[in-house]
Chain A
Amino acid sequence: MVERFRATAMFPLLAAVMLFGVFVLGGLTYQAIIGGGAAERLITIMLIDAIVVLGIQIYVGNTGVLSFGHIGFGAIAGYTFGILAIAPLEKEKRVPDAPFGLTDVHLSTWLAVVIAVGVTVIAAFVIGLGLARSGAESGAVAATVITLALLFVTHEVARNWPELTGGDRAGLSFRIGGNLDTRAPIYLMLFVAIVVATFFAKSRSGRLAVAAREDNLAARAMGINPLVQQMIALLISVAVVSVGASLRVYQDGSILPDDFFFNYTLLTIVMLVVGGRNSVTGAVLGVAVMTAGREFSRRLGQDDFEVFGIGLDGAPLDWIFRENLQTVFLGLSMLGFMLWRPKGILDDWELGDWMRRRFGPKNDVQPDLAESVTSDDDLVLVASDVDLFFGGFQALAGAGIEARGDEVVGIIGPNGAGKTTLVNVITGMAEQTSGRVVLGDTDLSTSEPFEIARAGLVRTFQNLRLFGALTVRENTEVSTLVAARHRTERAHPSVDQLVVAAGLWDHRDRRASELDYGNSRRLELARAAGMSPSFLLLDEPTSGMSDSESLEMVEQVRTMADLVGAGVVVIDHDLNFITGICDRIYCLDRGRVIAAGTPAEIQANPQVQAAYLGTG
């Protein structure tokens, strides 16, 4: 129990406390030095901004989808909170005829926050469905435009539905500005926001979302449904933003449509990307840096201001120039960081991770390989009569293979024979015109890639699709996380055992993007095996490898298949590799099987020699 806490939760929690402490103390120090109401207000706003930015980070950082809509969600929360929490006496003045009798409602502040969060999360769920569908079809760009549209819709509605919102001029307002006489609730919610953001990134959902962020297709091939993980991230993220927005309204004492529109969106997004959107530490740092920079540029516009001799004292600049220095600062920060440091100051550096690496328990004992899992001899994979047309070109013409759960089956054939296309059809990544894919009793002909992976067919990619920002261990861990939930009938080797079996132990903590070609291929193999599949489908595992490496790969594929008890279907060009590892071989040419048999039979087959070796 204590061991587990030390290994997983201790350092993130410690980091959250430190982050919170440093951030708050920094603010309080500034406030003490400068003094006065303005400084106090600045710090209060900074604390609230941090909550909102952390909320946005949960979605944007973990899913990699840029959202302009979170401030729109903030508007929904802010107005819901306002209309519920403001006393009827005040509402009589601005929104006397609010729909649903809302004018007469008066809830306690906390209850109003809870309901505001609830309402906004429900709205986020509906929007999230649209985001998910368009994102899946047209990519993250379409999702971003929808979030932008959301921002404009909420703004339009807020402006043009005065019965509910008080419209453009009046807005909603508590009796006096600045309701909060203590910062306690802000501190509390800020700490909660840091903890939630930190632990979401460490959670199963967070890790799977990050995998999909790094490579959506590979994530689906590992049995992840990105839409579900993105939805979870969206709902949690919107909940945190809603809390921040409600606090903001309570602190300001009022809400107007423009409070939650373009400027606030720009500010929060800049804060996030400057610090480093993929890191919770980065989000908090960004809030601090941008608050300081903005305050500096605002005061630079004032005549009496000077720091280290820098000041515009007496400079012949008109008030427009001075007034708008802040906006310029924000715009230039965004553009500058995108051009020169698009991942922000910290990229994905995380305080908790650093502390764990530095002070945490070192688990660098190389594990022994586990007992081999018995393979499923009776399980048969059958792809039959598969036709596939790309426009007028027939890529597959009645192709098919059969493989048993304890076999290694090879697919060879000249370039363009349809080998990869056949594997694409089997794993659901290409839609066949006709033909069936059946695993045991399960028909997978029309299933989604992630369903097929969960059913036990897991592939690697010819063109390498690793989760680049994740380490070797983390890449492998992603598939073991999915296996733990969806492949329960099988025994699972540990992440470290997989890494050892793939011969990557020495590289276990390096990022996948830093690996050389051969090691990347090995990691693809380990990651696929981590799913504890019934069949591993390997697409050219030795492409780009030297002869000696290819021979090693024979051993690694064997070890790996034994370790997880999987049958193997392998495409390759390298005849030494193929004949060295396969029990049976299919030879494809122009989309059809022209020969099948043992390696010896295939090598002797004149048709194969003609098509594949180009002789005869």
Chain B
Amino acid sequence: MTELLQNLIDGLGRGSIYALLALGVAVVFGVMHLLNFAHGEMITVAGYVAFWTIGTNDWSWWLVVPLIVLSAIATSLVIERIAFSRVRGASDFTLLLTSFGVHFVVSAIFLLYVSASVKTFPRPTWVANTYSVRSLNIEVFDTVVIGVTLVTLIATTLLLQRTMFGLSLRAAAADFDTARLMGVKSDSVIRGAFALSGLLAGIAGVFWLMRAGSTTPTAGIDPMLKGVLAALIGGLGSLRGAVIGGFALGLAEVLLRSRLPDSVASLTEGVVFLLIALLFIFRPQGLITVAHAERV
């Protein structure tokens, strides 16, 4: 029982980060039907920001956190401007490969101008601290992550429910063509979606980097994969589903890691992928069903 509760808390901490990433993926998917394989590049860029400020110049984390978030938003907007704005309305195939191309170009830039080697920066000292409640060992870090994620999710929900931008964004996600006919400005909605997606990735990136303490040119792949998979688990196009998918993925990873026999524990990732594949065989529309009837 205690162990299960412990897993649950660990899983929520991990899942929080995934949920933020997945929500960002889902927001962009909603407005332009793009599954963004470059979603991790915000974190790649943020990683080098952390390296140049904290790693080489000893800046304090508190100063760098807003910088990281801002750099993620800026990266997201720049990528939209340079690449994605040119392929709006293109086929799925083109969209997917464009985002993949963006990933490779961004990592190539860091490969050329920095280097392929791992760049490290010190983690905040409190990351490893834990405190106990009864027999549970809770990481300070997980507590912060869960707290910040909840606040972010609530704020995002308010943004989506209460503001004109949120309404446009949800309308566009539901039916882009109609939304545009009804006077939703596609340009500003799409840019807004990328900014929001960058913001969410930035917050997730802060935690990701605090835990990792290092970055490489291809560091974006891992968070991208988690975000994309979580969005897919939740049911593509559903914002709520993306968040649920993120938590589900986090919990699944933690539970498997602690429950699998030692001989296969190193294969946890593989097993998670396998479970996802199975999920799709038995529930191909993901956890949350989004009605997207094709008009005939």
Interface residues, chain A, with chain B CB atoms under 8 Å away: 64, 66, 127, 129-130, 133-134, 136-142, 144-146, 148-150, 152-153, 156-157, 160-161, 217, 262, 266, 269, 273, 320-321, 324, 327-328, 330-332, 334-336, 338-339, 342, 420, 424, 429-430, 461-463, 465
Contacts and interface: CB of A to CB of B under 8 A. Distances in A.
Contact of A127 (B33, B101, B277): B277
A138 B281 contact: no
A335 B92 contact: no
A321 B114 CA distance: 9
A425 to B, nearest CB: 11
Interface stretch (B125-133, B178-186, B264-272): B264-272
Interface of B: 33, 35, 83, 86-87, 90-94, 96-98, 100-102, 104-105, 107-108, 111-113, 115-116, 218, 221, 225, 228-229, 232, 235-236, 266-267, 269-270, 273-274, 276-278, 280-281, 284-286, 293-296
A153 B270 contact: yes
Closest 9 CB pairs of A and B: A335-B101, A331-B104, A137-B284, A334-B101, A156-B270, A133-B284, A160-B266, A342-B94, A338-B98
10 contacts: A134-B281, A142-B232, A150-B273, A217-B294, A321-B113, A327-B108, A331-B108, A338-B97, A338-B98, A339-B98
A153 B269 CA distance: 7
Nearest to A324: B111
Main secondary structure of the interface of A (DSSP, over half): helix
A152 B228 CA distance: 13
Contacts of A338: 87, 94, 97-98, 101
A277 B91 CA distance: 14
Contacts of A424: 296
Given A137-B284, A273-B97, A335 B105 contact: yes
A136 B100 CA distance: 23
Contacts of A324: 108, 111-112, 116
Contacts of B83: 335, 339
A66 B97 contact: yes
A128 B13 CA distance: 34
Interface centre among A141, A152, A334 (most CB of B within 10 A): A141
Given A324-B116, A338-B97, A149 B111 contact: no
Contacts of A342: 87, 90-91, 93-94, 97
Contacts of A334: 97, 100-101, 104
Nearest to A322: B112
Contact of B281 (A133, A139, A266, A336): A133
Contacts of B228: 145, 148
Contacts of B284: 133-134, 136-138, 142
A525 to B, nearest CB: 17
B90 A153 contact: no
Contacts of A136: 284
A138 B277 contact: no
Contacts of A430: 293
A346 to B, nearest CB: 16
A266 B296 contact: no
B96 A335 contact: no
B229 A335 contact: no
Given A335-B101, A338-B87, A463 B295 contact: yes
A396 to B, nearest CB: 15
Contact of A149 (B35, B92, B113, B229): B229
A260 to B, nearest CB: 15
Contacts of B101: 331, 334-336, 338
A146 B115 CA distance: 31
Contact of A160 (B33, B97, B98, B270): B270
Given A149-B273, A156-B270, A335 B93 contact: no
B296 A217 contact: yes
A335 B218 CA distance: 17
Given A145-B35, A463-B295, A328 B94 contact: no
B35 A332 contact: no
A269 B293 CA distance: 31
Contacts of A144: 35, 92, 96
A53 B91 CA distance: 22
B276 A149 contact: yes
B51 to A, nearest CB: 16
A146 B267 contact: no
B281 A140 contact: no
Nearest to B233: A145
Given A138-B236, A142-B236, A420-B296, A331 B35 contact: no
Contacts of A137: 284-285
Contacts of B293: 430
